[in-house]
Amino acid sequence: MRKTILFPLILILLAAAVMAAPPFLSDPQTSTGGLMIEFPHQPYYIAVSSMTFHFHVFNSTGNILDNTTTSCLIHVYNASNKHILIQDATYEDDDFEVSFGSNISDTIGYFSYIFQCSNPSEAGFVADTFEITNTVNIEPNVSGSPLAALILAPMIFGILLLFGALVLDPEEHAVMRIFLMLLSFTTYFMSAWFGVQALVRYYGFIDLQDSTTLTVFIIAGCLFVIVSYFIIYAFYKSVYAAAQKKKEMMLQ
């Protein structure tokens, strides 16, 4: 009974964390003093074969700089904070540019980067995050409340199913009670799955994505065995009861 209560409580706390914290979106960070770097902040990009980022670099007096006096490069990290790329920026049409090939531009997931510039007298950097996605319609500012509601909805339905199973008469509706209890537990797993997907999608925990599919497969397999057992058991009891009834009728 304690485990039955503890599991929904953990899910409620997980949903509360999703509601309280903002999704995986961060504002650009710029160094103070020295070189100032301006660029279009775009948190989402559609997966393509290649993409180019543009940066304007200014000195401390506001004059724009070019590659004759200043050099720039970019450091790129994946969602696991692994350093995956260091690349020099090129200069064209009054701005510094960094072009990414398919190794990044068509890889679905979250990335962060540090773009840094320096010359003999000054230096500066900016840091930002972005996501490569295959979804065309993206809503950048996602509230945590709808996510929490989505996570909690299956679990609340499961609690109602469990309550209904406990209300039923165990002698008259034994099979239905068992079925409702099993169904209620599947809704708990569904809430957990929604919670993990929210963490993967909005918080950048990409490492959970592969393990989620395996976990759901294992749980589904276990539930299939349990449900099959109770179906066979119910069939056996029905056949046995029918045989007993027929035997009693023959003895009369």
For the ranges 32-36, 69-73, 99-103, 182-186, the maximum mean pLDDT occurs at 69-73
Share of the chain above pLDDT 90, in %: 19
pLDDT at 54 over 80: yes
Residues 101, 187, single domain; the answer is no
Q: Which helix (H) or strand (E) holds 98?
A: strand 95-100
Amino acid 21: pLDDT: 40
pLDDT at 6 over 70: no
Looking only at the bridges linking them, the beta strands covering 123-133 and 44-46 are parallel
pLDDT at 151 over 80: no
Residues 86, 107, single domain; the answer is yes
Higher pLDDT, 127 or 136: 127
Question: Tell me, what CATH number does 88's domain have?
Answer: 2.60.40.10
Nearest-angstrom CA–CA distance, 111 and 130? 5
Domain interval for residue 81? 29-133
Residues 38, 16, single domain; the answer is no
Residues 65, 123, single domain; the answer is yes
Rg from Cα positions in the chain: 29
Domain end residue (candidates: 104, 133, 162): 133
pLDDT 10s digits, 188-229: 777 777 777 776 666 655 556 556 667 667 777 777 777 777
Count of domains for the chain: 2
Domain end residue (candidates: 108, 133, 158): 133
Residues 150, 246, single domain; the answer is yes
Domain end residue (candidates: 133, 159, 194): 133
Is there a contact between 113 and 75 (Cβ–Cβ < 8 Å)? yes
Burial state string for 7-32 with b = 16 or more CB within 10 A and e = fewer than 16: bbeebbebbeebbeeebbbeeeebbe
Amino acid at 208: L
For residue 62, what are its two tokens? Answer: 């506001």
What DSSP designation does 35 have? -
Residues 174, 220, single domain; the answer is yes
Nearest-angstrom CA–CA distance, 209 and 89? 33
Residues 154, 109, single domain; the answer is no
Coil, strand, or helix at residue 20?
helix
Amino acid 74: pLDDT: 95
Q: Quick one: which of 57, 78, 80 has its CA closest to 69?
A: 57
Least confident piece of the model among 29-33, 65-69, 129-133: 29-33
Rounded to a whole number of angstroms, the distance between the first and last alpha carbons of the chain is 46
Residues 129, 147, single domain; the answer is no
Residues 128, 54, single domain; the answer is yes
Residues 83, 150, single domain; the answer is no
Mean pLDDT of the chain: 76
Nearest-angstrom CA–CA distance, 142 and 146? 8
